[in-house]
């Protein structure tokens, strides 16, 4: 195989590279198209609370980075790269098509299939790119650049296509398109996979360009791996005891997480994630450190030191698919070319519809802009700015500015913090007051000591402690808030006051607890009866409402008439389908207290005018991307340079564990998004990232010395 055009090559590269390019492009189309819609699906279709959707999202994204470690092991030991990719792609396609069935019973099965398929697919694609070339082939770096462009091309197109389909036709079509993309990736790989071949054992003769005169960075002493094992450590006492000390830290972390859970301070999933993640990452480091000595241990320690900053970075960056996705959907004006129509909380009841524009073709097809489109900005910006950033890292040393790896990563963390600082400014325009007359708060909601409206969610119909929880939510003792706690009740003025934009999902959560307890009991009876029908029998379930909730109107539930009916003459509520949890939640809104419902409707309509311009999020994602380009590629390069060759794969796996941990923390932060004032939420993230970036800058010299010449 030569570097010029010949049979088996295209544009100087093996044809297999372009097979992998398009396979990966369509897989990323699938993943990012689905990921952009996932929080919106949980919030708007399954009617999850924002906290619950973030809880699912954190586990999904964390496992998507964790399972490739296991998938790489399975491929190396049992399946091989090719079969791991084929099986992984088929499993992911099955998962996406399960998502098209908008039913919670299929939902978690679908997520499980997507995580498992991703674990097999993801690590083996990148591995196959490297195996297309001999070890000393100068084309390898450009091959990964081409491959990386395919990744981002798919990540850019996926949210655009899936988002448009979701807005026009529903979530099922969006997930179906993502599944079709995954099938296309599988077909391309199956039909053209014969071109993905390892080169002959004899390496080709490579003509390399003459080397340039060394810049300032090249004059620094560099130790080979053998020399690093013989050279003394800069932290001799620490590195001598490091393997044992790391094991002690792992055991202490596991015990601490267990104790915190027993004490009720953290949930079981948090205890598992923090405890198990720390133990695995620590033990991997201990194993590697036992096989290296001296300065080589310093280098392994450096990976963990910089990994701390990576966790903070990804915890903030992954808000893009979670909290910032919800911000885009609920708080951002998505009309690009015209003023949005007056909104209505309940279009079917109020006789209003939020329709697309009727002017230009753009208005008819793309107003309002799909929320998912914001997820494409990051990938598009990477395609645009990656060559510029790569050139910058080469240019700066020529003018005497040598930025080390920790310095670049510090810049990345700082830029991520500045992106959230931009959102603090945006909230100033959103945080406007509105109010609605209300004589008194209905049963099911109350105020806390600071005047905030608080509530407790009604119990799930299948909960064995339903009766006890029903009594508790009628007289709330567990103070939950929405809209950052910015909804207050002034009893003296008989007024409901609020600042900011009220989301329709937050309005629903506030209304559900106000449904009369006797109505809630009847709903539970109806839901459970509808689920007891045999699979081959039609569903026929009915209850008689005594009494009927005041101003009961089934249209508020947002359910089709073919599914649920109400006969006002006989006061009979009947169901012809098995009612899911989301249907139950919609029916609670239909029986909610009418005056409170009207007051929240007025707040919703008034506050819609406070939505912020889409341009804030556009620049937010641009700054985030610049931060990512300073940190993510540099971090992967750093691990490959610092890790001992015999343990490079394990150290790369450890790096992905740290990224997985950052994704988990991102979801954990997202759970508090709806309970904090948004300016406070963004300020916490900005402050944490600013402090971490300063710590990184202050530690640059020490970390650089621990790298022993690696640049």
Which of helix, strand or coil describes residue 227?
helix
Q: Residue 221: what are its φ and ψ, rounded to 5°? A: -65, 135
pLDDT at 474 over 80: no
Whether 23 has a pLDDT exceeding 60, the answer reads yes
> Is omega for the bond preceding 368 within 30 degrees of 0, making it cis?
yes
405: number of CA atoms within 13 Å, CB side? 29
Q: The tokens of 669 are what?
A: 């932060």
Q: Tell me the C-alpha distance between 140 and 394, whole Å.
A: 18
540-566 pLDDT, tens digit each: 888 999 899 999 989 888 888 888 999
Encoded tokens for 279: 């133990």
**What is the structure's pLDDT at 397?**
83
For residue 4, name the pLDDT band (cuts at 50, 70, 90): very low
Q: Which CATH class is domain 1-199?
A: mainly alpha
Whole-angstrom distance, CA of residue 442 vs CA of residue 594:
9
The larger pLDDT score, comparing residue 76 to residue 673, is at 673
| Residue that wins the pLDDT comparison between 357 and 310 | 310
Q: Is the pLDDT of residue 524 over 80?
A: yes
**How long, in residues, is the chain?**
711
Q: Are 412 and 406 in contact (CB under 8 A)?
A: no
Average pLDDT of the chain to the nearest whole number: 84
Q: Residue 567 belongs to what H/E stretch?
A: strand 564-567
Confidence of residue 217 (pLDDT cuts 50, 70, 90): very low
Mean pLDDT within 395-400: 84
Give the residue-averaged pLDDT of 613-617: 93
Q: How far apart are CA 45 and CA 329, in angstroms?
A: 13
Identify whether the C-beta of residue 203 lies closer than 8 Å to the C-beta of residue 135. Answer: yes
**What is the phi-psi region of residue 204: left when phi exceeds 0, alpha when psi lies from -120 to 50, beta otherwise?**
beta
- 501 or 208, higher pLDDT: 501
Nearest to 704 by CA among 279, 328, 283, 221: 221
Q: CA 702, CA 565: separation in Å to the nearest integer?
A: 71
Contact 367, 356 (CB under 8 A): yes
What angle (nearest 5°) sits at the alpha carbon of residue 670, between those of residues 668 and 671? 70
Whether residue 507 has pLDDT greater than 90: yes
Question: How do 445-447 and 453-455 pair as beta strands?
Answer: antiparallel
Q: Using CA atoms, how far apart are residues 693 and 689, in angstroms rounded to an integer? A: 6
Q: How far is CA 603 from the centre of its chain?
A: 30
Highest mean pLDDT among 256-260, 439-443, 457-461: 439-443
Percent of the chain with pLDDT over 70: 87
Supply the pLDDT for residue 647: 76
Domain layout of the chain by residue ranges:
1-199, 433-609
* pLDDT tier for residue 650 given thresholds of 50, 70 and 90: confident
Cα-based distances in Å from 482 to 65, 500, 510, 668: 31, 11, 8, 17
**Which one of 74-88, 295-309, 484-498 scores highest in mean pLDDT?**
484-498
State how far the Cα of 583 lies from the Cα of 512, in Å rounded to an integer: 12
The answer for 487, left when phi > 0, alpha when psi is -120 to 50, beta otherwise, is: beta
Sort strands 13-14 and 572-575 into parallel, antiparallel or unpaired.
unpaired
Is pLDDT above 80 for 364?
Answer: no
Q: Where are the beta strands (DSSP E) in 398-514?
A: 433-437, 445-447, 453-455, 487-490, 495-499
Mean pLDDT of 449-471: 86
Quote the CA–CA distance of 423 and 374 in Å, as a whole number.
Answer: 15
Give the Cα separation of 253 and 279 in Å (integer): 7
- 3-state SS string for 426-458: HHHHHCCEEEEECCCCCCCEEECCCCEEEECCC
């Amino acid at each position: 195989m030569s570097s010029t055009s010949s049979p088996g090559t295209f544009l100087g590269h093996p044809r297999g590279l372009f097979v992998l390019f398009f396979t990966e492009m369509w897989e990323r189309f699938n993943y990012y198209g689905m990921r952009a819609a996932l929080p919106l699906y949980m919030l708007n279709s399954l009617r999850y609370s924002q906290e619950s959707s973030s809880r699912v999202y954190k586990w999904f994204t964390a496992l998507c980075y964790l399972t490739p470690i296991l998938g790489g092991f399975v491929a190396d030991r049992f399946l091989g790269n090719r079969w791991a990719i084929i099986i992984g792609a088929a499993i992911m396609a099955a998962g996406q098509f399960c998502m098209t069935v908008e039913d919670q019973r299929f939902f978690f099965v679908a997520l499980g299939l997507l995580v498992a398929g991703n674990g097999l697919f993801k690590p083996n694609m990148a591995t196959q790119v490297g195996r297309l070339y001999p070890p000393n082939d100068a084309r390898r770096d450009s091959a990964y650049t081409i491959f990386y462009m395919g990744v981002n091309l798919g990540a850019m197109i996926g949210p655009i296509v899936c988002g448009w389909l979701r807005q026009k036709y529903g979530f099922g079509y969006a997930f179906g398109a993502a599944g079709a993309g995954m099938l296309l990736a599988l077909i391309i790989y199956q039909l053209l996979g014969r071109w993905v071949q390892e080169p002959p054992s004899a390496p080709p003769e490579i003509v390399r360009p003459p080397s340039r005169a060394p810049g300032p960075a090249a004059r620094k002493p560099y130790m080979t791996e053998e020399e690093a094992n013989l050279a003394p450590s800069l932290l001799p006492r620490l590195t001598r005891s490091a393997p044992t000390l790391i094991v002690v830290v792992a055991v202490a972390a596991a015990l601490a997480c267990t104790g915190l859970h027993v004490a009720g301070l953290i949930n079981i999933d948090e205890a598992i994630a923090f405890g198990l993640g720390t133990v695995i990452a620590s033990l991997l480091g201990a194993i590697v450190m036992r096989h290296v000595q001296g300065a080589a241990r310093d280098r392994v320690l450096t990976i963990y030191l910089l990994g701390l900053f990576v966790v903070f970075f990804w915890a903030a960056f992954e808000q893009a698919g979670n909290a910032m996705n919800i911000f885009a959907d609920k708080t951002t004006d998505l009309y690009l070319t015209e003023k949005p129509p007056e909104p209505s909380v309940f279009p079917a009841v109020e006789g209003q519809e939020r329709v697309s524009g009727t002017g230009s073709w753009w208005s008819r097809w793309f107003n309002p802009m799909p929320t998912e489109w914001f997820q494409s900005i990051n990938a598009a910006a990477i395609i645009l700015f990656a060559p510029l950033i790569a050139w910058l890292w080469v240019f700066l040393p020529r003018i005497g500015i040598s930025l080390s790896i920790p310095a670049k990563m510090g810049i990345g963390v700082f830029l991520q913090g500045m992106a959230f600082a931009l959102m603090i400014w945006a909230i100033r325009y959103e945080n406007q007051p509105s109010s609605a007359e209300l004589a008194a708060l209905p049963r099911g909601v109350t105020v806390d000591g600071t005047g905030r409206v608080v509530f407790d969610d009604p119990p799930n119909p299948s909960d064995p402690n339903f009766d006890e929880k029903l009594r508790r939510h009628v007289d709330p003792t567990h103070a939950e808030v929405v809209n950052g706690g910015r909804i207050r009740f002034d009893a003296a003025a008989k007024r409901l006051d609020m600042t900011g934009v009220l989301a329709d999902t937050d309005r629903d959560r506030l209304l559900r607890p106000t449904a009369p307890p006797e109505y809630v009991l009847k709903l539970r009876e109806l839901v459970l009866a509808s689920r007891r029908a045999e699979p081959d029998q039609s569903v026929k379930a009915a209850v008689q409402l005594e009494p009927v909730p005041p101003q009961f109107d089934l249209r508020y539930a947002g359910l089709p008439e073919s599914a649920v009916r109400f006969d006002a003459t006989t006061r009979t509520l009947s169901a012809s389908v098995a009612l899911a949890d989301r249907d139950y939640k919609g029916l609670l809104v239909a029986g909610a207290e009418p005056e409170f419902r009207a007051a929240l409707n007025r707040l919703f309509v008034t506050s819609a005018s406070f939505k912020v311009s889409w341009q804030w999020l556009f620049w937010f994602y641009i700054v985030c991307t610049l931060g990512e380009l300073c940190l993510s590629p540099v971090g992967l390069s750093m691990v490959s340079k610092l890790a001992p060759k015999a343990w490079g794969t394990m150290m790369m796996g450890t790096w992905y564990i740290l990224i997985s941990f950052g994704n988990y923390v991102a979801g954990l932060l997202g759970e508090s998004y709806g309970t904090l004032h948004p300016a406070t939420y963004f300020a916490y993230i900005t402050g944490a990232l600013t402090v971490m970036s300063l710590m990184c800058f202050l530690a640059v010299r020490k970390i650089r010395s621990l790298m022993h010449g690696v640049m």
